[in-house]
Chains A and B, each alone.
Chain A
Amino acid sequence: MTSTALRSRAWKLLEMVTTPLLPSDYLDLVSPLRAGADLRGRIEAVHPETGDAATIVIRPGRGWRGHTAGQYVRIGVDVDGVRLWRAYSLTSPTDRPDGRVTITVKAIPDGKVSNHLVRRARPGTLIQLDQATGDFVLPRAKPAKVLYLTAGSGITPVMGMLRDTEFDDVVMVHCAPRPQDVIFRGELHDLVADGKLRLTEVHTDTDGVLDIARLDALVPDWAERETWACGPAGLLDAAEKHWSDHGVPERLHTERFRPTIVAAGDGGGEVTFSTTGTTVDADGATPLLDVGEAAGVLMPSGCRMGICFGCVSPLKAGAVRDLRTGEITEAEPGVLIQTCVSAAAGPCDIER
């Protein structure tokens, strides 16, 4: 018998010992970061960067497969007892000797996770991790001339690249409200001093929002450069238009954080039951269970009054309102809703 077969036999036996739990439920008590466990990480330090941004040093579990500069990672953090998932760019170089990775988080107004990470996260906390992903990365062959166009926390994936790779000719145009809001400012200026980077800071509080037409003046050879842009949608939309207007759209690589904004409203919306491919209009007062059943979707149900949890279904997209409390729940991976007491709060997608 091969050793893997032997190991799986042994594991089966162990499962019989621990049933109805799994052996991993016990192993997690002592070694949550071990190989073979669900991927997790432990926060080891939190370093403030600016007034509202901080770098979080994470020791990933043994199952971590590493990352490529520019990629992001999804992390699950418990905020007020509720597990919330967000994606953040990795800012550490890929070959950090201690195997730690970092993300740099800017607290956005009303951002539950970002504020928690910047202001309340404590070393020692376990978080959930996904493997790194994303194609906002450098090509294998290093481009001769590079332009980074960033704004606010859009600098984070780019910083991951700058820390990883030295370029012969690299220019950065970065926008932030004030000088003290520029994340990694000290390190950027060190690179400038060493002649490794040409940097233009645009301070939007005094200079106003960057007009993309100003690029001709700031970086006259922008069209010849391989460009990576990351920032708010407005900037990226303008950049995409500018690059294609000048016939060089293939030179521009963009990364969008928050690709969809959930529109939560009072008036219901279009409900999609994605498994069965059914789409119907729903008002803001009819339980989604009734909406689905009226549309011929086979919906699990029980008490129909919110007490038995027999109707929980995954909310894949959009937002719903709890008809009892008025509370809005937005779609996130792993979010289940009770369809008998939830109504559409804008367009939404129920996996049924």
Chain B
Amino acid sequence: MTAIDPTAHLTAEQIEELGRELDAIRDEVIAGRGEKDAAYIRKVIGAQRKLELASRAVLLFSMFPPAWVIGTAGLSVAKIMDNMEIGHNILHGQWDWMRDPKIHSTTWEWDHVSPADQWKHSHNELHHTYTNVVGKDNDLGYGIMRVDEDQKWHPFHLGQPLWNFINACFFEYGIAAYDLELGKNLHKRRRKNPEFRARAKAVGRKIRKQVLKDYVIHPLLSGPSFLPTLAATFTANLVRNVWSHSVIMCGHFPEGVQVFERRSIRGETRGQWYLRQMMGSANISGSKAMHFMTGNLSHQIEHHLFPDLPSNRYAEVAVKVRALFEKYELEYVTGPLPKQVFSAWRKVFRLSLPNKKEPVVKTPEREKELVAA
């Protein structure tokens, strides 16, 4: 919705051609999926389990500071692996093709307070289908923030740097609330809706289990190390939350990412859908370890184009995707993590204040939509 459309130079035929070229990239990876990929995800899952087990074992002795540090670091990494490279990607169906019922989007459950099936609905379905469409994609500011100039300013937004910080610390709870669409559903009438109540109950159950495990059972098992273990698990959850929040902010918030209006996706073709994903996402550059720890969401652009391709293939896909960006003269938004995080935060701060200037283009119909959004 920026005043200058960065895709204006493309003709309709070019956009469809772009779509076909992207389809070809996808088909090639699908045809080449095999034993190596399966071995990869099994290895990652095995490593995560061993790391978590070892870290928890070390934390049994967390009254000794070195044990606390090692155990907490290990557990933080294990939790990040569980949520990012493993959970997020399995729940996208990236590994369903293996037909292994234990590594499947329909059976997987993750170390997170949002039950997998609810998250799949809000994330896979709403966010990935309506990427960056104001009023349709709730990921745009999670319904509590203003992340685009064209969103209406409200004094409530003054506090958004604070909301964003709190959300980062308790991100998994934020996600659970967001999957429940709490904001919308807390209205008196909606609260009684049986479907909402069932989902809220499921979240409650999941929270209970997670909290019991992290803050009661494992500390109790540590006996005299009860309190240090409690502090360690809290820290690991905090680290995981802040980390995933940062990675996810980098996916759609940095400067240069485009936001779309509702009517722009009416009758969208495959090529236009692809183009919207390309313009609505941003990458993080960095080392292999970096890509791994972000669950390959550092390849957010590739992930949004092909959400169901195995994550270990995004790096090779990225080379081809980037070439297409160049060919069609589009901006490939990417940068190192600190730069992207900074850029996203700056936007959060900037948009907590009203716009300096009114947006240039304005039509009555568009006004209405923005208000509705």
Contacts and interface: CB of A to CB of B under 8 A. Distances in A.
Interface of A: 16-17, 19-21, 25-26, 29, 78, 80-84, 302-303, 305-310, 312, 324-325, 327, 332, 334-336
A11 B301 CA distance: 44
B129 to A, nearest CB: 4
A303 B218 contact: no
Given A307-B129, A309-B120, A78 B98 contact: yes
B34 A80 contact: yes
Contacts of A310: 120-121, 124-125
A85 B308 CA distance: 24
B30 interface: yes
A129 to B, nearest CB: 14
B217 interface: yes
A309 B129 CA distance: 12
Nearest to B110: A20
A302 to B, nearest CB: 4
Nearest to B108: A20
B48 to A, nearest CB: 10
A312 B96 contact: yes
B129 A325 contact: no
Contacts of B206: 20
13 contacts: A17-B221, A19-B210, A20-B206, A25-B102, A26-B49, A81-B39, A81-B97, A302-B121, A305-B273, A307-B129, A307-B307, A308-B120, A309-B96
Interface of B: 23, 27, 30, 33-39, 46, 49-50, 53, 92-93, 96-102, 104-106, 109-111, 120-121, 124-125, 128-129, 206, 209-210, 212-213, 217-218, 221, 273, 307-308
Contact of B124 (A25, A29, A303): A303
B129 A29 contact: no
A307 B99 contact: no
A269 to B, nearest CB: 23
A84 B36 CA distance: 17
Contacts of B92: 309
Contacts of A309: 92-93, 96, 105-106, 120, 124, 308
Contact of B105 (A83, A305, A312, A332): A312
A83 B101 CA distance: 9
Contacts of B221: 17
A325 B27 contact: yes
Contacts of A327: 30
A327 B30 CA distance: 10
B35 A78 contact: yes
A68 B30 CA distance: 42
B210 A82 contact: no
A302 B124 contact: yes
